Amino acid sequence: MSEASPLHVQQEGGVLVLTVDHPPVNAFTLPLTRALQKALAQAARDRTVRAVLLRGAGRVFSAGQDLTELQAVAGESLRRHLQATYNPLILQLRRLEKPVLAALHGAAAGAALGVALACDLRIAAAGTRFLFGFSGIGLAPDSGMSLFFPLLLGLGRATEFALTNQALTAEQALQWGLVNRLAPPERLEAEALAWAQSLAAGPVQAFGLTKRAFNRALLPHLEAVLDYEAHLQDVAGRSAEHREGLQAFLEKRPPRFVELPEDGAL
Ligand code: T3D
């Protein structure tokens, strides 16, 4: 029997709706990032697609990178992993000359938060938690998080939430500009689709040029930033801190980062 696809793609009028569906927590795997890349390439090509809505099925938007998959490739280069997965995905989201709206609920963590922040707009269900995530498993930020997180939150707040790995609440996310709108959980789906449809009715070429202008003004070095993140993650990925962070997550216990063996090779 073939595995169910982790991404549902359906068109509602001018909106391409991408629904991540990988129970229990929509963790990002290689097949999922590949499916997202393919769907965004389709969105770029297809003139009938005038806006994209990215959302998650089930209890959360996404818990970020699938840590069981990460454990399975332990010892392999995280640079290569990022070059195949999040780096092209983030660039596609920013370069797509059509509006991309993310609808978030439950939780958005780690690399999935990076993906959500690379979208143009965000609407979140009340009660959604926003988790930096990377530091919990001894990693540095990737998926554009080193840029989008401080850009949207401000350096002081971004540093605090990165180093404490505490969750931001939906209200904080709204107040500090991480999301544009909140909706009651039971209204999220309808409000997100209505917003995406109103975007699809807008001047798509002017929207595309607006994205281009914002990218040029604020994100001209995005590709280099992603590449540098991949370099740093390659270092972090070989560390004792990462091994301990990942092991602790899988064993469902708090990590013990003090008194680890030295990483002579770093
Ligand atoms: O190169 C690279 O790709 C590196 C990049 C890494 C970036 C990252 O994304 S690191 C991951 C960052 N994510 C997190 O730190 C979030 C971890 N998860 C959570 O905090 C919680 O699971 C949620 C808040 C997302 C949801 O909470 P809740 O209470 O609804 O669910 P749960 O009970 O915590 O989790 C349900 C199951 O999903 C559980 O497994 P079990 O006990 O049923 O066998 C849990 O272990 C599993 N799970 C949760 N997150 C992940 C995961 N499995 C794989 N990967 C996960 N990220």
What is the CATH classification number for the domain harbouring 181?
3.90.226.10
Domain carrying residue 141: 7-185+201-218
Give yes or no for a cis peptide into 24 (omega within 30° of 0): yes
**Rg for the chain (alpha carbons), in Å?**
18
Quick check: 1 pLDDT over 50? no
Please answer whether residues 142 and 134 qualify as being in contact, where contact means their C-beta atoms are separated by less than 8 angstroms: yes
Does residue 265 fall inside a structural domain? Answer: no
**Residue of 67, 146, 169 to test ligand 1 pocket, by largest number of atoms within 8 Å of CB:** 67
Domain count of the fold of the chain: 1
- Encoded amino acid at 152, one letter: L
**pLDDT tens digits, one per residue of 157-168:** 999 999 999 999
The response to whether residue 236 sits with its C-beta less than 6 Å from ligand 1 reads no
- Encoded amino acid at 91, one letter: L
Does residue 139 fall inside a structural domain? Answer: yes
Kindly report the average pLDDT of the chain as a whole number: 96
Does residue 78 fall inside a structural domain? Answer: yes
The response to whether residue 81 sits with its C-beta less than 6 Å from ligand 1 reads yes
**pLDDT tens digits, one per residue of 212-262:** 999 999 999 999 999 999 999 999 999 999 999 999 999 999 999 998 877
- Torsion sign, CA atoms 11, 16, 22, 24: negative
* Length of the chain counted residue by residue: 266
The response to whether residue 229 sits with its C-beta less than 6 Å from ligand 1 reads no
The response to whether residue 140 sits with its C-beta less than 6 Å from ligand 1 reads no
The response to whether residue 33 sits with its C-beta less than 6 Å from ligand 1 reads no
Looking at the CA of residue 252, tell me the nearest atom of ligand 1. 46
Does residue 177 fall inside a structural domain? Answer: yes
Q: Is the pTM of this model over 0.95?
A: yes
Does residue 121 fall inside a structural domain? Answer: yes
Does residue 227 fall inside a structural domain? Answer: no
The response to whether residue 24 sits with its C-beta less than 6 Å from ligand 1 reads yes
